[in-house]
Amino acid sequence: MSAEERVAVAPIKVRSVMTKSNLPIAGYSVNPYVGCTHGCKYCYACFMKRFTGHGEVWGSFLDVKYWDAPKDPRRYAGCTVIVGSVTDPYLPQEEEYRRTRAFLEEMKGSGINLIIVTKSDLVLRDLDLIASYPSPLICWSVNTLDEDFRKDMDGAVAIERRIAAMKKCHEEGLRTTCFVSPIFPGITDVFAIIDRIKGFCNYIWLENLNLRGNFKAGIMEYIKEKHPGLLPLYRDIYDRRDRTYWHMLDENVREYAQREGMLYVIDKEPFMRSADGSPVIINYFYHSEIKQSAKKK
């Protein structure tokens, strides 16, 4: 039995799939599913489980949302809508249930600013619809080029499939983002990822691994088992709150960007553009000390 077949899938009716968003980059969020079958071990969205009524492990259930089509999609004109803030809108089940595509069809011509966040290449199925929106943005999460590590951490499609989809969308004239997140200290090779995707990516967003959630124990146990040499570093960062690693990475990325002629900024507006059209690297490290240090410089 495949992992997908082990997922408990159920339909639910919701009043609206559009919800007000607290994210700084969007006014509305759209999540066509409740739950996420990728089962990422570092998933911040697992906090959503307590609002679902599910007792199953996060990643083992999926509620498929159904809603009435909006009567006046134009009322959202000019609003930024992020699709996939707490689930992946292109989970494998989307191929069957097509709820993300339903939303895109209903909102076609609405004038919304569309952002899609995914780890899948299934998004290529909907390029016809996505391209009909004004200046849409598609964002893929890529935090490693190592397939073994990727398989340990998430059940989404292979990294090369994500990168190929990014390249295809860029070639079709769509804006693309590589979300290098979460950065695992000593494991995620930020510079190898940037070198791999910089030719077909408009934005590169960097975010550090945050272990304040319930999954901290599991990640620390994984490091102890698979990367024991990194355990002292992880204890420094996540038990003793030592910021040294992030300060050093900040400086190294800054030097890399200068060397490559790329714009590098700290915690800035996510859609700013470089003068020459090269990718913009934006640092979204959580730690306020890093932001303050970088701004002073």
Domains, the chain: 8-296 (3.20.20.70)
**Digitized pLDDT (tens) for each residue of the chain, 297 residues in all:** 344 557 889 999 999 999 998 877 788 999 999 999 998 998 875 666 566 666 677 777 899 999 999 999 999 999 999 999 999 999 999 999 999 999 999 999 999 999 999 999 999 999 999 999 999 999 999 999 999 999 999 999 999 999 999 999 999 999 999 999 999 999 999 999 999 999 999 999 999 998 876 789 999 999 999 999 999 999 999 999 999 999 999 999 999 999 999 999 987 667 778 878 889 999 887 544 434 444 444
pLDDT at 1: 32
The sign of the dihedral angle between the CA atoms of 100, 102, 105, 110 is negative
pLDDT at 22: 82
pLDDT at 294: 40
- Give the pTM: 0.90
pLDDT at 295: 43
pLDDT at 45: 59
pLDDT at 60: 77
Separation of alpha carbons 266 and 247, rounded Å: 12
H helices of the chain, in order, are: 94-97, 99-106, 127-130, 147-153, 159-171, 190-197, 216-226, 231-238, 244-260, 288-296
